[in-house]
């Protein structure tokens, strides 16, 4: 039983990875990203585009249509220095998208020490970026939640410090982090119910016809003798006492 559950979980994980990979490939070109974002913004309140941390056509295109650029960075010297080329890209993008806000957050930060503050000082000196003053500390709760496909708001046992850090960032970006747990639970419950209904329908579709229905009579008479299909189909395929027109004269 435990092995079957583990196998099903692994298959679901592979399916999600495959679908995510297909979706990523579908909109990986710069012009396509601009087009899709403009189409989707009439249907959704928030659209998240993951373009990676490299100078690509996708990143440049996303900067021209985004409202907020979220830049997670490690509190290390080399990682903070990597913001320099991104600074130039943001300045270029703001010639087209003047409302672009670039928000930098320290991710996997240290719980103690001066590295966080030293990185924050360097980030604040860069005019193109806004520094988010609540770092995301490196915690086991984030790894456990990601492995389970959940957020830290849903993962049990809960980590109050991790929840607070995540909530502060989500509230700053979206303003409704407190509802994420209930929204995600509702989505999973609805998806699970839909999957169960589909499986039940697929099982019942072969038994939904009455025993003497036209479909079952045709199914029984057609396949045993292919040479007599037309004659036996005529005898079994009368609807309301009327012939179907297949009877041979």
What dotted CATH number matches 2-160? 3.40.50.300
What is the token pair recorded at 83? 């913001």
pLDDT digits (tens, 9 = 90+) for 169-178: 988 988 765 5
Q: Which helix (H) or strand (E) holds 68?
A: strand 68-73
Q: In degrees to the nearest 10, what's the CA dihedral of 209, 212, 217, 220?
A: 90
pLDDT at 27: 54
Residue 137 parent element (H or E): strand 136-137
208-227 exposure pattern, b = at least 16 Cβ within 10 A, e = fewer: eeeeeeeeebbeebbeeeee
What pairs with residue 124 in β-bridges? none
pLDDT in tens, 100-138: 999 999 999 999 889 999 999 999 998 899 999 999 999
What's residue 108's pLDDT? 92
Sketch the domain layout of the chain as residue ranges: 2-160
Structural tokens at position 51: 């373009």
Whether 68 contacts 101, CB under 8 Å? yes
Residue 104 main-chain phi, psi, to 5 deg:
-105, 130
For residue 185, the model assigns a pLDDT of 60
* CB neighbour class for 66 (10 Å; exposed up to 12, middle 13-18, buried from 19): buried
pLDDT, residue 8, reads 59
How do residues 138-155 score in pLDDT, each as one tens digit? 999 999 999 998 888 888
> Running DSSP on this structure, what letter comes out for residue 239?
B
- What pLDDT is recorded for position 220? 44
> What pLDDT score does 30 carry?
78
Which among 120, 102, 169, 104 has a CA at the least distance from the CA of 142?
A: 169
Does the pTM surpass 0.85? The reply is no
Residues lower than pLDDT 70 in the chain: 1-28, 176-192, 194-195, 202-249
């Amino acid at each position: 039983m435990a092995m079957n559950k583990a196998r099903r979980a692994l298959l679901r994980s592979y399916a999600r990875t495959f679908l995510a990979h297909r979706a990523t490939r579908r909109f990986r070109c710069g012009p396509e990203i601009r087009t899709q974002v403009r189409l989707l913004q009439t249907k959704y309140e928030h659209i998240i585009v993951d373009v990676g941390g490299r100078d690509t056509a996708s990143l440049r295109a996303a900067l021209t249509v985004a409202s907020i650029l979220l830049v997670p960075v490690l509190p290390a010297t080399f990682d903070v220095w990597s913001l320099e080329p991104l600074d130039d890209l943001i300045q270029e993008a703001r010639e087209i998208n003047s409302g672009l806000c670039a928000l930098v957050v320290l991710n996997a930060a240290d719980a103690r020490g001066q590295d966080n503050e030293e990185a924050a000082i360097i980030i604040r000196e860069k005019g193109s970026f806004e520094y988010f003053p609540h770092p995301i500390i490196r915690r086991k709760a984030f790894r456990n939640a990601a492995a389970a496909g959940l957020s830290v708001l849903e993962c049990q046992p809960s980590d109050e410090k991790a929840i607070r850090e995540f909530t502060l960032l989500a509230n700053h970006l979206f303003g409704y982090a407190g509802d994420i747990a209930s929204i995600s639970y509702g989505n999973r419950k609805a998806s699970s119910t839909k999957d169960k209904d589909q499986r039940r329908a697929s099982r019942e579709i072969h038994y939904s016809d009455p025993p003497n229905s036209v479909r079952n009579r045709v199914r029984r008479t057609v396949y045993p003798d292919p040479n007599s299909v037309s004659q036996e189909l005529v005898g079994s395929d009368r609807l309301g006492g009327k012939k179907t027109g297949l009877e041979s004269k």
